[in-house]
Amino acid sequence: MSDQPTEDLFRWGNWEPVIGVEVHVQLATNSKIFSNSPTSYGAEPNSQANVIDLGMPGVLPVLNEGAVRMAITFGLAIGAQLNRLSIFDRKNYFYPDLPKGYQISQFETPIVGAGELTFSMDDGSERTINITRAHLEEDAGKSVHDMFPGSSGIDLNRTGTPLLEVVSEPELCSPAEASAYFRALHGLVKSLRICDGNLNEGSMRCDCNVSIRPRGQQELGERTEIKNVNSFRFVERAIETEIARQIEVLEGGGNIRRETRLYDPDRDETRSMRGKELSDDYRYFPDPDLLPLVLDETMIEEMRSKLPELPIAKRARFVTNLGLSEYDADMLTRDPDVAAYFETAAQHAGDTKVAANWVNGDVAAALNRADLAVADSPVDAITLGALLQRISDGTVSGKIAKTLFEALWGTPTRTTDVSAALKRIDALIDERGLKQVSDSSELQGLVDQVLADNPDQVAQFRAGKEKVLGFFVGQIMKSTQGKANPGQLNGLLREALKP
């Protein structure tokens, strides 16, 4: 199934973890899955809930075709079997943020059947994880427990937001692998444009099922479920601490209880979810308000023809066509926004490798420091491409380019016009006098001067001390504030130093 993992899977002693995850992917439809109220995030509480979302008497759900199209797109992207007929069921339980007293979901017959997802681990090894199924369902609202003393608030804006719940087989074998899977799924749904991928807005929430068993044992141990983890790092941490907890319990002679747990990132621990509001028997049955969902072959073919390039294909293309390393290509294709940024920048940069290094290096670091998404980068992709073009055409050195990058970062702009970006960069170069000195007569003068000023070092070089060359380069760079074209300078120095 996968390359031999290089991470240390033996750090749990004789225990082997078994992990499966369920990811709730919030589909990027404009309206809700069974009503026409909008799905935008962050609106006034209860301003985006209509009579259907409120579960008023007599109102009925009508399926949003957009959500169906997105589910089909996902199914096609993971090579899944699409169920030509799927059923919406009612999942019955009482909770104040669940207006109808049931959630419409798909239980026995989901729209997307078995498929698989292939992705890379940080060490470059590749994994393929089987996806059991993916089904459509509606989200519940939100209970707010800390705003009104003595009572709870309910915000039904999120009620009825379409979710695609993607269920993996329990075949992830480490926290890092679970996290990488979650990240790959994130990259995939973003690439497919079926989810905005905003983790901190809850657009993707991960439930992790964790159990451990003695290495070599076939039978699975009792599992716990960690609910609603919403970052790649937290998925890894939550599972890591849960494995450690389970080992401690079992080695202490205790038993693992099947239960739902919550991960607390502040204390880096999972704890049992209290409250008996979730009953075990959801009394699933087909929702009589909705007909079975029958997929139309024409629609499936239409969605197939519209499938964008998948992350894994993009990675291969970056390696084969753009000559990038596997590592660079993987890093660039984990997030489709990063890949798009890179491709735009590379198109104007004149050197794809330099572009890859910049995007994975300086740009990533700057975004990380500022806690910004690449789509919000103050230096947009065209501007970066223009800057890199000025390296490759010899106007500035890589080192000077970093200075320019910082200047550009300070005054964010958006452009779609590369000549405007070049003009802006050139003006900046002129304004700061950062243009590389590539004029050979000017450089020749500097060389002649430095040799004349340092006869001792000239003698040393001529006596075979090659290292002294660096001294001359350094002197000239110092006097030009780094602007001398290093390649040219080297050539002129060597020529002048010839005995």
Partner 1 sequence: MTKSTSPQHASLADLVKGLGSGQFSSRELTDEYLASATDASHLNSFITLCPDEARAAADKADAERKRGAATHLLHGLPLAHKDIFCTAGVRTSCGSKMLENFIAPYDAAVVERLNAAGTIMLGKCNMDEFAMGSSNENSHFGPVLNPWDNTRVPGGSSGGSAAAVAAGLTPVATGTDTGGSIRQPASFCGVTGIKPTYGRVSRYGMIAFASSLDQGGVFARSADDAAKVLATMAGFDERDSTCAQQNTDALQQAAQQGLAVPKNSLTIGLPKEYFQDLNPALTQRLDEARSLLEAQGHTVVDVELPNTKFANPTYYVVAGAEASTNLSRYDGVRFGHRCDNPKDLQDLYTRSRTEGFGAEVKRRILTGTYALSVGYYDAYFLKAQKLRRLIQQDFLTAFDGGVDLLLAPVTPGPAFQLGNLTSDPVEMYQQDIFTVPASLAGLPAASIPCGFVDGLPIGMQLIAPHFEEVRLLELAHQYQTLTDWHQQQPPARTAGGNSQ
Q: Which residues bind partner 1 (CB under 8 A)?
A: 51, 54-63, 90, 92, 94, 96, 99-102, 154, 277, 280-281, 283, 285, 287-291
Q: How far is the CB of 139 from partner 1 (least distance, A)?
A: 17
Q: How far is the CB of 52 from partner 1 (least distance, A)?
A: 9
- The residue among 38 and 286 lying less far from partner 1, judged by its C-beta, is 286
Cα–chain center distance at 300:
27
Q: How far is the CB of 134 from partner 1 (least distance, A)?
A: 22
- The residue among 86 and 485 lying less far from partner 1, judged by its C-beta, is 86
- How is residue 394 written in tokens? 């010899």
- The residue among 142 and 193 lying less far from partner 1, judged by its C-beta, is 142
- The residue among 60 and 452 lying less far from partner 1, judged by its C-beta, is 60
Q: Is 173 helix (H, G, I), strand (E, B) or coil?
A: coil
Cα–chain center distance at 78:
17
Q: Which amino acid is at 42?
A: G
Provide CB contacts within 8 A for 40, sequence distance 6+.
48
Provide CB contacts within 8 A for 359, sequence distance 6+.
332, 338, 341, 342, 345, 384
Q: How far is the CB of 69 from partner 1 (least distance, A)?
A: 17
- The residue among 151 and 200 lying less far from partner 1, judged by its C-beta, is 151
Question: In which residue are the tokens 């010839």 written?
Answer: 498
- The residue among 144 and 307 lying less far from partner 1, judged by its C-beta, is 144
Burial 278-313 (b: 16+ CB within 10 A, else e): eeeebebebbeebeebebeeeebeebeeeeeebbbe
CB–CB of 389/348 below 8 Å? yes
Q: How far is the CB of 59 from partner 1 (least distance, A)?
A: 7
Burial class (CB in 10 A: 0-12, 13-18, 19+), 190: buried
Q: How far is the CB of 194 from partner 1 (least distance, A)?
A: 23
Q: Is 4 helix (H, G, I), strand (E, B) or coil?
A: coil
Give the dihedral sign, CA 245/185/27/21. Answer: negative
Question: What DSSP state is assigned to residue 359?
Answer: I
Q: How far is the CB of 285 from partner 1 (least distance, A)?
A: 5
CB–CB of 416/383 below 8 Å? no
- The residue among 100 and 205 lying less far from partner 1, judged by its C-beta, is 100
- The residue among 56 and 372 lying less far from partner 1, judged by its C-beta, is 56
- The residue among 53 and 236 lying less far from partner 1, judged by its C-beta, is 53
CB–CB of 124/1 below 8 Å? no
Q: How far is the CB of 85 from partner 1 (least distance, A)?
A: 15
Q: How far is the CB of 306 from partner 1 (least distance, A)?
A: 25
